Structures are given as structure tokens and as C-alpha cells.
A and B are shown apart, each in its own frame.
Chain A
């Protein structure tokens, strides 16, 4: 198998690495052959980012650290990556299929006269060569695509197609190479404004490891503090089924279900939730589900790992005391 040179364009915001970058590392490592993988990092003030990326099991980390690249900007990033690629001449450039990639990758690829295959979910070796698999027609078909034309070929990977924790790391840090360059500021046409912020801090329940959810069984808004206490003891986020949010007892961003958020935490407590299918589709991926409901026939018990048929006003305080010990 031919040995190829792969450049990964990573993504980060501030001092936080976007986990999808690790997914692309996993994708690269998955391509068979004794390939050389270079992790590309671009920005400014990158010590913390680099300390993270240097753990990767790759041939080297290439870093472009330039104050003009502190904030993402389409023209400047295209200019900078083009310089890197023209110098390094990789066979493949791999990116995560994020909004940012969608913004600059097409420009970058067409500037270099290269092909770009987006939103791929896997790679395959076929007689014709290295093939990239991507969904078509909203996932009804899957196509094997072979890039043509001169190198490098640009490939972006669908978020979640590979798992970030599958990326191989190693003890010895990878070798780091700084790549100095200058940006022609006169060629930059975009002037970004302040990043848009929701006026209200929206809760992202999909990031919570533990969730305590409350439903109609709570009867009245005044009983919420009991549930909030349980959540605090468990170190869990508070969530709710639709009727609670419709009544305004909790904000809409705490709703779990088909018209709310889909979550898959390690622990999900369902208090006074009947388990209507609209709610179940939002949480059935949870690792462990504990349900407390007065109604033994409630559908929630069909998917709960642990179920207690009883009065939550008796059981929840008992759980809280047990936790406090």
C-alpha cells in the first residue's frame, strides 16, 4: 500500500479544542498504510491547545501561530492554509464537517484546484484506490466516492462518524514544528462582528452526564424545590417533560423529548413522568434509567432499568436523605 501524507486541519475556539478534531484524527489513523499524519493547528496563543494535541499518535504537529489568525476569518484562514499546503504538499487534507469547514474549505480547495468530498462517514480500500463513503438523498443511499485530479484531495468527515475517544494517543509527545507565515491583510474582505450570544443562557442538556427529569406527577410548581434538591445531591441537571415546560414551570430549554432536546446521559431519573412516546424518543438512549411513578402501568416502566411504583413525594425525600449520608 502506498504511503500517503495526510494533513489534518483541526478546529478550536479560544482555549478549547473542538472534540470533532479528535474524530478526524481517528479517521486518519483508520486509513490503512504506514501513512504520515500531520496535525495542523492554526490560531494565536496556542500553548494550551498544543498541549492537548501533542498527545496524539501522529508523525508531527504543525503549528501556525500568528496574531492575525487569532479570530477565525474565512479569507485569512484560506490564505494561511494554502501557504501551508503548497509547502507541505500532502496527499490528503482531512477536516471535520463543521460550519466553519463549510465556510472556508470550498474556497481553499478551489483555490488549489483540488477536489473536496464532504460529510464522509467512512473510508474504504477498493481496487480503484482509497474511497470515501458519503450519504446521499438524506441518508437513503450511501455512495463510494473516489477523488480525481491533482493532490491534495480535501475530505471532510461527518460529526460523529468516528468517535473522538478512538483517536490513538501516546505517552511521548509528538514532535512540534512551528510554521511561520504572514497574511496579506489587504486581501481580507470579511470583518467579523462580536460573536452572537443568546440573550438567555441556554442549557445544553445533551452535555449533562446525569439528569433528573420531572413530569406531571409533580402536581404543582411549588413542589419543584424537592426535585431540584435531588438534582443537586446527584450533581445532575434538571429537565422536564413537555407539560411542565408548557405550563412555564421550567424554561423550554429544559424540555426533553421529540419537541425538545434528545439526551443520552449516564443516569436519567424520571420522576412522575408517564413515558409518552414523545418523551421516550428524547431519552431512551440513556445508559441507566430510574423511574418513579404512582401508576404501575405507566409506559416509562417498559424502558426503565430501575422502577419504583410509588409516591414520589415519599420516595424522593428518602433518596435525598440516603445520599446525604
Chain B
């Protein structure tokens, strides 16, 4: 949205031939698939929309206090001082869904077309130049045959294509693969954020109160933490982030979130409240060294798709917008010169490397990786990094993709007893996955091809069952994957995919130990409805 708005602004400022700008959005309405905590850094808005204050923006709740707690199962320890990078003075608590809807209105007012319900499924090439995007077919039945409502996908051709398909974006994935954009870079790391929107008695938490937690229910070896942000009108945003680089194959991020809610600190916040909405999405955590090359002939990559997230400050929205603006500047220039080759578009990468994004991300480039040594190592390094601006003996700090870090049951548990703490589900405070999915508002046309492509389901029921006990049934926060007994008495098991439960979080594509799952967009318009998230 930021890129589109910036392009429209540039065009207006500099006149010349009118640009035709289009935004393709796979959800049914702008913002429907967007969710975050969120605590938003507004500095980028000053540049993109200087008069944002007079435009009824969603920046209504300034952060008034910032608390960090370390949790054990029953107790809490508050950090006496909030470290500078985590201080949120000047920032706003808001709904990302609300922010995107507001931006979308501004984008449309400026003459840009937003095509909702259109998923980008394929990149169009002219030789090695990106020529545009093909949208998905509509009206295809479960077996892949056209229904009466069949509409073939549309080819959208453009001089410059800006890929903003989010964390583990399906098109960015193709682009990175084709042009080896990640060669020489560190592997990308991810985390899974799961959150809920609650209504609690007014006065329970002040609007603008920001709470972050470390510790329980995660163990020292696991990355992540919880958050609770006070919104207005008695609403509360509460969630839990689990690093997708855990070693225990039996770890379940959704379960961790339920355990988190049972901690007295959080339980008291939610007492007599009601859960209104649920959602989940992965986040890129790898930082500076994991960002691939983001410019190719005819295209640029922005936002979470490239990995512009500050994992120390836990912020990525302002960086995504900043990258969008830089991409718009480069694209505008390329169109003016009638040359969108990569040499011209390299201007984008230069502006990232010499600008605010580098200034912010470079000093924290090894923070997430330091946590692979455990919580203490991570915290110590992060403190050190504040002083030394990210220095480390080995830079980049060695890292491994999460799907390689996950260990087999045999290796992780060895002779120890396999003990998993499952949260009690009471359907008032804690919920099972199916109920959670219901509250995400996710809807897909049932009669369409399955969009979670598992390339070899034999592996699921034999090797994976044995080695990892099918972690997909645990790391998916939406109960998409199930291992069920085969009909009859053969005693065998098979994989069942409930594709219509999918909330588009991308965890399966990221975390599957055999990397045989490919998430592709379902028919445009399908997916969650993250109103207020």
C-alpha cells in the first residue's frame, strides 16, 4: 500500500504521463489477511502522509507504558528497566488490519486500482525479465476440472512488478529460487505469531499499555515470548510468538499460547472477558543477513517477503512501508527512463543499504541468531549488541534454517520420558484449534483443489511418523493436518488435509522437516477475516 501511495504521490508531484498502478490482493477485502500485535512506529508516516493526523488515521492509542516480564509457571519478575530498543514512547498501539484498510482508502482515493480476490500464482517472464504476474484460475473443482463458474487467471503485465506477498511469499519464493537471490546470504529464520482479540471489562488494562513477556511456557532453548496490548473500548490484543527453530519435535505453538494465557498475570487480564477473534501468521526473524537480493530485471521485493523486520524491537510494519516507498522511488525512476532492468532497479537496493532500513537493521543483524544458543546467550548478546552495534567474532553469526534444527523424537528424547504439557481446554480462556479456526473467520470455497501441496504423502505415514511423529499436526495453528487411521482394520495411517481451515500463516511451508510442503494461494478471496486484528 505504501508503494502504491508513494507512486501515486510522485506522479502527482511530477506530472508527466499518467501511470497506471494496480494492487493485487488475494483476500476478499483489503486488510482481511493482515494481523499483528501491533505497536507501530509512526516515523515513516510523517514522510509518506505528512498530514496523517488530519485524515482520521487509526493511530489513536499512543503507548503509555511498557512493561517486560520474565515468567515462570506461577510467578513473574518485572524488568526494572525497559531496554532502549524496546521502549515504545512515541509509538502507537493499533490494529494492522485497521491500518491497511485506512491506507487502502487513501490509495484508492489517489487513483490506484486495488483488485481484491485476486491471488498471484505465477510470475510471467520475458526471457529473464519479470514481465508481470498471472492470477489464479477461479471455478476449478476438487479434482482440478473446470466448473460451470470457471474463469481462467488473468495475465497482468507491468513494466515494474513489486512483490509484497508477505512472509514466505509464494511468488517471492519462486523468484528467489530462479535467480538464486539468496546465494551468499544466511538462511532465513522465522517465528509463528498466534494471537487473539479479546473484550474485557473496561478499566482492566489501560489503552496503550504494552506488556511483553519472556520465559514461561518456553524453555531456555526456545525463542519467543508473549505480548498483551491495551486497545480502546475494553479491547485487548494478546498473543504469543514461538520461534520456528525449536528443537523439540513435539512442541506445539498453539498449545504454548494456551499455556501462556493460563499464567496468573495473563489470566487476570482476561478474566470475565470474551475472545472475539483469532489469527496466526509467521514472521521473518533472520534480520539483515537473511535478506535476499531484492532487485531483478523488472521486479522488486518489499516488506516481509524480503524479511525487513527488526527482531530486537519486534517491529516490521514501518520497515515494510519504508521499503515500499523506496521501491516506489526506484520504480518511478525506471519508468521515467523507460528502463526497468536490474541495473536501474538496483537503485532500490542502494537506498535500502544507505538509508533508514540499514541504519535500523544492521546493528541487530545477529540478535535472532544469538538465541540459538539459548535464552541467556541471546539476552547477553542483545545487551552487548546495543553497545557494540552488532559486532560479533563471527559475522554473520552461524545459523541454520528451522526445519533443520527440529530434531527427531529419538534424538531429542533419547532415554528420557516423553512428557508433553498440554494446556487444559475450557473453551472460555483456552480453546482447541478447531474453535480457534472458527474465530479466525476463515472461509474457503470447499469445492476447489487443495492448496497445500504435499509432494509425497508416503513420507508422512512412514518416515515422518516414525522420526518426528508428524509435527505438521502440531505446528499448524489451524488444524489443517491430521493423521487419521485408514478405513478398515489395516492399522495404517494416512494424512488428511483440511485445506479449508487454512489461515495462510505459511508455517507448514517453513517448518516441515522434509520441505515437501508447498503453500500455494487458494482461489482468490478465500482465507481469514481479520477484522480488528
Distance of A220 Cα from B485 Cα, bound (Å): 10
Is A34 located at the chain interface by the 8 A CB criterion? no
Given contacts A220-B487, A247-B487, contact A276 B434 (CB under 8 A): yes
Q: Find A258's partner among B427, B438, B487, B498 (CB 8 Å cutoff).
A: B438
Is A14 located at the chain interface by the 8 A CB criterion? no
Is B53 located at the chain interface by the 8 A CB criterion? no
A221 adjacent to B487 (CB under 8 Å):
yes
Is A299 located at the chain interface by the 8 A CB criterion? yes
Cβ distance B425 to chain A, nearest Cβ, rounded Å: 9
B446 adjacent to A278 (CB under 8 Å):
no
Q: A246-B496, A276-B434 are in contact. List 4 more A-B contacts (CB 8 A).
A: A220-B488, A259-B446, A277-B435, A278-B438
Chain B residue at minimum C-beta to C-beta distance from A246: B496
Is B500 located at the chain interface by the 8 A CB criterion? yes
Distance of A247 Cα from B487 Cα, bound (Å): 8
Chain A residues near B496 (CB, 8 Å)? 246
Chain B residues near A221 (CB, 8 Å)? 487
Scoring A residues 263 to 297 as 1 if CB is less than 8 Å from chain B, else 0, what string do you get? 00000000000001110010000000000000000
Distance of A247 Cα from B496 Cα, bound (Å): 9
Distance of A40 Cα from B437 Cα, bound (Å): 49
Scoring B residues 427 to 438 as 1 if CB is less than 8 Å from chain A, else 0, what string do you get? 100001011011
Distance of A278 Cα from B501 Cα, bound (Å): 11
B434 adjacent to A277 (CB under 8 Å):
yes
Q: Find B435's partner among A220, A246, A247, A276 (CB 8 Å cutoff).
A: A276
Scoring A residues 190 to 227 as 1 if CB is less than 8 Å from chain B, else 0, what string do you get? 00000000000000000000000000000011000000
Chain A residues near B437 (CB, 8 Å)? 278
Chain B residues near A276 (CB, 8 Å)? 432, 434-435, 438
B500 adjacent to A259 (CB under 8 Å):
yes
Distance of A281 Cα from B443 Cα, bound (Å): 14
Distance of A302 Cα from B498 Cα, bound (Å): 26
Q: Find A278's partner among B434, B487, B488 (CB 8 Å cutoff).
A: B434
Chain B residue at minimum C-beta to C-beta distance from A277: B438
A-B interface contact total, Cβ < 8 Å: 21
Residues of chain B whose beta carbon lies under 8 Å from any beta carbon of chain A: 427, 432, 434-435, 437-438, 446, 487-488, 496, 498, 500
Cβ distance A299 to chain B, nearest Cβ, rounded Å: 6
Give A60-83 interface residues, CB cut-off 8 Å to B: none
Chain A residues near B435 (CB, 8 Å)? 276-277
Give A161-176 interface residues, CB cut-off 8 Å to B: none
Q: List 6 A-B contacts (CB under 8 A).
A: A258-B438, A277-B438, A278-B434, A278-B437, A281-B438, A299-B427
Distance of A299 Cα from B498 Cα, bound (Å): 21
Cβ distance B157 to chain A, nearest Cβ, rounded Å: 34
Chain B residues near A278 (CB, 8 Å)? 434, 437-438
Distance of A259 Cα from B448 Cα, bound (Å): 13
Distance of A133 Cα from B1 Cα, bound (Å): 39
Chain A residues near B498 (CB, 8 Å)? 246
Cβ distance B429 to chain A, nearest Cβ, rounded Å: 15
Distance of A33 Cα from B488 Cα, bound (Å): 68
Cβ distance A20 to chain B, nearest Cβ, rounded Å: 26
Cβ distance B443 to chain A, nearest Cβ, rounded Å: 8
Chain B residue at minimum C-beta to C-beta distance from A242: B498
Cβ distance A172 to chain B, nearest Cβ, rounded Å: 50
Distance of A168 Cα from B435 Cα, bound (Å): 44
Cβ distance B301 to chain A, nearest Cβ, rounded Å: 35
Chain A residues near B500 (CB, 8 Å)? 259
Chain A residues near B432 (CB, 8 Å)? 276
Cβ distance B213 to chain A, nearest Cβ, rounded Å: 28
Give A83-128 interface residues, CB cut-off 8 Å to B: none
Chain A residues near B488 (CB, 8 Å)? 220
Chain A residues near B427 (CB, 8 Å)? 299
Cβ distance B485 to chain A, nearest Cβ, rounded Å: 9
Cβ distance B21 to chain A, nearest Cβ, rounded Å: 28
Cβ distance B142 to chain A, nearest Cβ, rounded Å: 10
Distance of A221 Cα from B488 Cα, bound (Å): 8
Cβ distance B432 to chain A, nearest Cβ, rounded Å: 8
Distance of A264 Cα from B477 Cα, bound (Å): 31
Distance of A221 Cα from B500 Cα, bound (Å): 24
